[in-house]
Amino acid sequence: MSIEIPERARWDIEEISDHIRNDSGPFVAERFTDRLSKTLALLESLPAMGELIEPGFSGLPGMRAMNVKQYPRFIIYFQPKPDGIRVLRVLHASRDLDALFGS
């Protein structure tokens, strides 16, 4: 099994962690990254979990979304792969998906 996290998604994770660290301190930021890692591990083993995004976005077939455990305002957008998942983005729930993923 594998979790593919492209550079853009890594940048999202770093940005969120930095924001949480600045607002709430290092302990809360570490707890977020721990919960994110656990959620990703769950998705890796069960890649069909999460909500299917419909209608989909061009070039992103089968895109799904799942909240980070215990951090429901942060959402992992991913595509299942035969051997795991490919993380597309990790975003705050308020973000405009059409602006980010639309054509």
Q: Tokens 């656990």 — which residue?
A: 38
CA distance 78 to 53: 10
- DSSP letter at 55 equals S
Does pTM top 0.85 for this prediction? yes
Domains in the chain: ranges and CATH: 2-101 (3.30.2310.20)
Angle formed by the axes of helices 26-45 and 7-24, nearest 10°: 150
- Please give the Cα distance from 58 to 35 (Å, whole number): 30
Higher pLDDT, 66 or 100: 66
Where does the pLDDT of residue 61 fall: very low under 50, low under 70, confident under 90, or very high at 90 and above?
Answer: confident
Averaged pLDDT for residues 20-47: 96
C-alpha–C-alpha distance, residues 96 and 62, integer Å: 19
**For residue 97, pLDDT beyond 90:** no
